Structure 1
Amino acid sequence: MIAIDRQTHWEDVYTTKAETDVSWFEDTPDLSLALLREAGLTPEMSVIDIGGGTSRLVDALEASGQAHVTVLDLSAAALKTAKARLANADRVQWVVSDVTAWTPDRRYDLWHDRAAFHFLTAVEDQQAYVRVLVQALKDGGKAVIGTFAPDGPEKCSGLPVARYDAESLRAVLGEQFKLAATRRHQHTTPWGSVQKFQFSTFEKVAEPERLGIRDLKLPG
């Protein structure tokens, strides 16, 4: 029931509001692009944008010739809007799904999430998200996750959010991820208010490294 309610909410948002009338709108996704490049983005990599909605990150990645991009969102209406801007984007896969219930059909080099995870306030949803992240990301792959900072808003789009700094987010993700970089960011909404975010980049660690056995010698 939780997933159905969540999907209904976001379908309503994207069918009743214009693209520029939501607080998370950006003309250009400059910070996301910078963070992905800092995480090692190269054209041959596969990238997934979680909760991509109508974000223009996919436009920028497709225009740069990214080999494969997946955009996942709860709202079919949001993805329809984004897809209409990129009618000939053969390298883009569009997935309508709740990330907590999604089964990946491939593994990705880079995972990007600008303010989707912080809407998951129930522990079971957070754990489900992490399970999917582990399945979807290659060993050594990077996850760039943005959430409201501890001094950021307590709600967004009428919904409560969970706020994080880098360490509290790392604790939720677990030992299979190590913190690679973090920064604070102030996002200005289309109507001029300021929202305080944190963006953290995590590397998925292979099993021997998680166990602290970096120089493990295997037979043969």
Structure 2
Amino acid sequence: MEINKKQHWENVFATKKETEVSWYQEKPETSLQFFERNNIPKTAKILEIGGGDSYLIDNLLLQDYESLTLLDISENAIERIKKRLGEKSEKVRFVVSDILDFSSIEKFDVIHDRASFHFLTKDEDIQKYATLMNDILKENGLYFVGTFSESGPLKCSGLEITQYSKEKFLKIFGNDFSLLHSFEEVHKTPFETTQNFIFCEFQKKM
């Protein structure tokens, strides 16, 4: 039986504290370094996919980024971050949606996805996602993606995931995007366990 993704994530964010999920990071250094490394302007239109209640948005607001969109399948996750941000939440556009159901007339300068893409396990969904990234990113726009690597876990939050290598990423995104940077990193969870991630930085071709 196929798990209802939305119900699954609504339940996760209704029952677990932010420090009780494996992806918790008070300061998402790897993601912030991506913004720094690429000198991403404060006016850039930024889309955060599956951000849940991660602290990336808080940190980008602190750095005076002006055009932030956070998309997550879970309304509970979005309510949680809104509550945490307080008045600052008015500076963020929130979208409750499965990424596969998302469409946007507006194109983004930057798309960031840490640990959301790897939950897609069907080839047609992976392809649909890749097509969407190409559709909603501006020419020369940047796409930063992080997933479990081939030496990372096989599941996350009780769900199957797809592991990735640089070669696998290039097979999916290589036609429309140039790979600028790729590296692996060990993430330490709040439970003192470790997860191996791969991060890739792509630029949309002209």
Q: Give TM-score, length-normalised by structure 2.
A: 0.95
Look up the match of 1:72: 71
- 1:49 corresponding residue in structure 2: 48
- Count of residues paired in the alignment: 205
Separation in 2, partners of 1:199, 1:45: 21
RMSD: 1.4
Deviation at 1:105, TM superposition (A): 3.6
CA displacement 1:133-173 (0-9 Å, x = unmatched): 11211000010000001110011101111111122112112
* Superposition pairs of residues 94-109 of structure 1, within 5 angstroms: 94-109=94-109
Q: Summarize deviations over 1:65-102 as a string: whole Å, max 9, x none.
A: 10200100000000111111222233310000000110
Q: How does 1:1-220 map to 2 (within 5 A)?
A: 5-89=4-88, 90-206=90-206
Cα pair 1:104 1:132 within 8 Å, conserved:
no
AA aligned opposite 2:70: V
For 1:22 and 1:105, how far apart are their aligned partners in 2? 33
After superposing on structure 2, the runs of 4+ consecutive aligned residues of structure 1 that deviate more than 4 Å are: none
Whole-angstrom CA distance in 1 between matches of 2:100 and 2:177: 18
Q: What SS is found at the alignment partner of 2:69? A: strand
- Tell me, yes or no, if the aligned pair for 1:36 and 1:144 is still in contact at 8 Å: no
Q: Secondary structure at the match of 2:87?
A: coil
1:163 partner SS:
coil
**Which blocks of at least 5 consecutive residues in structure 2 are unaligned?**
none
| TM-score normalized by the length of structure 1 | 0.89
- Deviations, residues 20-56 of structure 1 (Å, cap 9, x unaligned): 1000000111111001222331211111110000001
Deviation at 1:174, TM superposition (A): 4.1
Q: Distance in 1 between matches of 2:36 and 2:166?
A: 19
- Do the aligned residues in 2 keep the contact of 1:50 with 1:71 (CA within 8 Å)? yes
Moved more, 187-196 or 79-88: 79-88
Shift of 1:58: 0.3
Structure 1 unpaired stretches of 5+ = 207-220
For residue 112 of structure 1, what is the amino acid of its counterpart?
H
Determine the structure 2 residue equivalent to 1:209.
none
